[in-house]
Structure 1
Amino acid sequence: MPLWIAVHLPLLQLEAFRPNWLAEEAAVVFEHDRVSAISAPARADGVRDGMRRGGAQLLSPAAHWHERDPLREAALLGEAALALLQYTPQVTLAEEDCVLLEVGASLRLFGGIRALCRKVRVTIARLGLSATLSCAVSAAGAWLLARSGYVRTLRPASMRRRLERLPVALLPPARPHLEWLHGLGVRRLGELRRLPRAGLQRRCGKAVLEMMDRAYGEAAELHRWVEAPPAFHARIELPDRIDHADILGAYAQRLLAQLAGWLGARQLAVKQLRLSLEHERGRQAAPPTELTLALSVAAWQEEHLHALVKEKLARCALPAPAIALSLAADELDAMQAGSGLLFPEPGGSAEDHHRLIELLVARLGPEQVLQAAPQADHRPEVANRWCGVMQDAAALPSPLPGDAARLPPRPLWLLDAPQPLRLHRHKPFHRTPLEFASPPERIETGWWEGRPVTRDYFCAHDAQYVYYWIFRQWIGGEQPDQEPQWFLHGLFG
């Protein structure tokens, strides 16, 4: 059975200029010198719908004034539809600032209709929009219920009961005939349905009956689905000049919500993002600040991408105030299917590990998060070097083939420089005399570099049975009879 979610945006005219997280500021939108949209602070000042411009400016002189821009509203409605593609590929635009989603096939993936509605609300809020949601088994029914303020999940029978209580004025084809209908005492859809269909069609036209039939699920509905563009590039103009990069995180999530919808529709994941912070133009023009975010593993989850971008912005210093943001996906990969394991992996999945590493890199910088890169050398202090964790592990040099299986145990902690040990009764001493716990391991190498090394490594423990990795350094060359020296090189866990 199909199930529809209708997302009605009642404040689209106003939020096309100022997102809802700036709701504490007074703002008014005019259309033909009359008020068409008002923020809550301006309404508290006494501004009302339909008021003339002069009266509104007198009541709320500190408000932000805007002329209605249908093109900006249509663009923002399209951004909302693109962001919602991450929940279902069947998204369509409806009249009067509404987006419709057919989610019958998506319920199991997102944990049911209530959990899906919560996710849709979060996505719409990240776009800076206010919304009223409603669910129904027909698209027109969900659209009518959302515009009237109902937000519940409805079964077919309860949907019909609620539709019958809605005002007739919600039907666009019936509005030109409201005076005649009210004269008949018809003010609700239930009363309108009880009128003779033939007479109602002659008086009001066929469109009224067709829309009622679609709303009640008695007629087929045709839709034009929203399609994701072949490439992703999104841009947003900021309502004010912003001097601090960390404040831009709220606006960046609006772009990331669109990216998540585009990736979901295209079944892709992103490996590199490019966020451009645009600055002043004209005589004080400054080149855009480019922030590149590279991921070790391609991702598409909106929360993860937003956390990385937020950390990146927190470490960025703006050379000039930002007036716009743009986001581009530079490197893409196919979206990987989720794990099919019955039980979760202990310690988290590989994806969780990669997300943690990427978050640390974004917060601390790539030069502060390193990974071990083994090298083909028998000397312990040379057999490893540190490189950036974002570097491809397959491109790193590999150790000597077969060595890992033949080597004796190695300590977890290797000292930066071997620590000399003194002898006590012909035994190496570290806090207490050390007792040998393994036969010697001879390492003799480095002769090709002019620095030959001859060492005998031992596992040893003290009186408390703390295990150490020590070696005996042999001195050759001009002093072959000199007593060997002892060093501490590592500690076992």
Structure 2
Amino acid sequence: MRWIALQACIRPDAAPPLIDAVAAQQALACMALGYTPRVALVDEAVLMEVSGSLRLFGGLARLAQNMASQASQFFEQNKVLAYMERSQGATSLIALGRLRQCRGQPEAASKRVADLPMHTLTAARPHLDVLERVGCRSWDDLLRLPRAGVARRFGAPLLQALDRARGHAPDVYEWQVLPESFDETQELDALVTHAPALMAGAQRLLVLPLQAWLLGRQRGLCALKLVWQLDKRRDVAPSGELVIRTAQPAQDLRHLARLMAEQLGQQRLPAPVHSLRLQSLETEALTDSAAATGSLLMAARQQGGSALELVERLSARLGPEQVQTWQARADHRPEQMQCWVSAQNTIKSIANNSRPACAGGINDLKNEARTEA
């Protein structure tokens, strides 16, 4: 078996931080599920068992490199001041121990498992002072002591952890599972009375949780719904909602965030808002070629993405009926051969590069005459 231990570290210069360490860990676990279904959260780290995925991703080095590149790009694109540290080992506790030992100091990593310090073992942390006084500073020092005496003095969990670290006992973890659809709620720090101010709370749901869920599911988002819960009053509805749709499935949600900001600017709140709820309505599985691309920006994989984003943003700002495009019609009369329709309603066909039906004119008449003859 082969294990990889990951940890998302918040940079000290992040002030104020957009996310906390727990949210960064959850996002990292979602991304890890895109590489293996055996992902567990243990203390501050994310553990991945990747022996069944090595052949698919071209080996351990290639898999670790792809994971590091994806996490770096993910944090950078979302302006999250965080970085990822990783280590590997034959067992989960070895990988976790190496991660804790070389945190911020890669050159300090021990080549031998027996040389790992005692503080890297979770079960030994309550007994570090006593172990230090008896001269146990590494895993090897503890293994040299009689097992019966260690169990009597420090308890059975410490010996069980050592057995798991050496591969003599199986690892039992609760594996992480991504839900089929995204649905999360965010409590606001204070009551919000203006709709544009809701974007700050919605951004917390968009930046890490939703995009990380999309990466783990290897899907692109086509439509989402933002629901805001209003302060209870007799003369107003308990909630309001906003549905955002895009022509192309996307994992980079910056365009969807801009559309949401445009539409929130046109909303009026009848009462203060105390919480938000974000739901994914429509998603599409990414093709093999798209999934193999390192970029998270779906528009970079298809030509004309920027033009479609412009049409969607203008439609959100000015209204769907204010942004129009012409559509050809199968009619022999010149004045009826085209008409103007809402660009928002036909943007799907633009995204798929599908040509609208066009009139054949005199050629159709010639073909009909030949058929009758």
Please say if 1:134 is aligned against 2:86.
yes
- 1:319 is matched with 268
Residues 1:152 and 1:7: Cα distance change in structure 2 (over 3 Å): same
- 2:6 is matched with 6
Q: Work out the number of aligned pairs and report it.
A: 340
1:293 pairs, out of 240, 244, 255, with 244
Give the letter for the 2:357 counterpart. S
1:98 pairs, out of 42, 45, 49, with 45
- 2:172 is matched with 222
Q: Is the 8 A contact 2:101 2:109 kept in 1?
A: no
Q: Is the 8 A contact 2:224 2:279 kept in 1?
A: yes
Which structure 2 segments of 5+ residues have no match? 293-297, 367-373
Q: How does 1:18-167 map to 2 (within 5 A)?
A: 22-23=16-17, 81-82=29-30, 84-94=32-42, 96-103=43-50, 105=53, 112-120=63-71, 123=74, 133-137=85-89, 138-148=91-101, 150=103, 160-161=111-112, 164-166=115-117
Residue 172 of structure 1, CA deviation: 3.3
Residues 1:403 and 1:174: Cα distance change in structure 2 (over 3 Å): farther
Structure with greater strand share of residues: 1
Question: Could you tell me how far apart the structure 2 residues matched to 1:326 and 1:90 are?
Answer: 29
Residues 1:402 and 1:217: Cα distance change in structure 2 (over 3 Å): farther
Give the letter for the 2:46 counterpart. V
Q: Is the 8 A contact 1:197 1:209 kept in 2?
A: yes
RCO comparison, higher one (Cα < 8 Å, 6+) = 2
Residues 1:21 and 1:300: Cα distance change in structure 2 (over 3 Å): farther
Q: Is the 8 A contact 2:224 2:280 kept in 1?
A: yes
Q: How does 1:190-269 map to 2 (within 5 A)?
A: 190-197=140-147, 199-215=149-165, 220-241=170-191, 243=194, 245=196, 248=199, 251-252=202-203, 254-255=205-206, 257-266=208-217, 268-269=219-220
> What do the CA deviations read for 1:266-300 (whole angstroms, capped 9, x no partner)?
55544321122444445796654422122224x25
- 1:400 is matched with 359
Residue 127 of structure 1, CA deviation: 11
Give the letter for the 2:225 counterpart. R
Q: How does 1:451-462 map to 2 (within 5 A)?
A: none
Please say if 1:182 is aligned against 2:132.
yes
Question: Could you tell me how far apart the structure 2 residues matched to 1:381 and 1:124 are?
Answer: 54
Give the letter for the 2:328 counterpart. P
- 1:310 is matched with 258
Q: Is the 8 A contact 2:34 2:218 kept in 1?
A: no
Which structure 1 segments of 5+ residues have no match? 12-19, 25-38, 40-72, 342-347, 408-493
> What do the CA deviations read for 1:421-452 (whole angstroms, capped 9, x no partner)?
xxxxxxxxxxxxxxxxxxxxxxxxxxxxxxxx
SS of the aligned residue for 1:234 comes to: strand
- 1:34 is matched with none
Residue 4 of structure 1, CA deviation: 0.8
Residue 252 of structure 1, CA deviation: 2.6
Residue 191 of structure 1, CA deviation: 3.2
**TM-score scaled by length of structure 1:** 0.54
Q: Is the 8 A contact 1:81 1:93 kept in 2?
A: yes
SS of the aligned residue for 1:228 comes to: coil
Residue 332 of structure 1, CA deviation: 3.9
> What do the CA deviations read for 1:437-478 (whole angstroms, capped 9, x no partner)?
xxxxxxxxxxxxxxxxxxxxxxxxxxxxxxxxxxxxxxxxxx
Matched-pair identity in %: 26
SS of the aligned residue for 2:302 comes to: helix
Please say if 1:377 is aligned against 2:334.
no
Residues 1:174 and 1:237: Cα distance change in structure 2 (over 3 Å): same
Residue 313 of structure 1, CA deviation: 1.0
Question: Could you tell me how far apart the structure 2 residues matched to 1:236 and 1:335 are?
Answer: 28
- 1:65 is matched with none
Question: Could you tell me how far apart the structure 2 residues matched to 1:332 and 1:211 are?
Answer: 42
SS of the aligned residue for 1:222 comes to: coil
Residue 374 of structure 1, CA deviation: 0.6
Structure label with greater radius of gyration: 1
Residues 1:371 and 1:379: Cα distance change in structure 2 (over 3 Å): same
Residues 1:172 and 1:207: Cα distance change in structure 2 (over 3 Å): same
Residue 339 of structure 1, CA deviation: 6.1
> What do the CA deviations read for 1:38-57 (whole angstroms, capped 9, x no partner)?
x9xxxxxxxxxxxxxxxxxx
- 2:295 is matched with none
Q: Is the 8 A contact 2:311 2:323 kept in 1?
A: yes
Question: Could you tell me how far apart the structure 1 residues matched to 2:104 and 2:67 are?
Answer: 13
Residues 1:151 and 1:379: Cα distance change in structure 2 (over 3 Å): farther
> What do the CA deviations read for 1:181-200 (whole angstroms, capped 9, x no partner)?
22212233343344455543
Q: Is the 8 A contact 1:361 1:368 kept in 2?
A: no
Residues 1:111 and 1:310: Cα distance change in structure 2 (over 3 Å): farther
Structure with greater helix share of residues: 2
Residue 327 of structure 1, CA deviation: 1.2
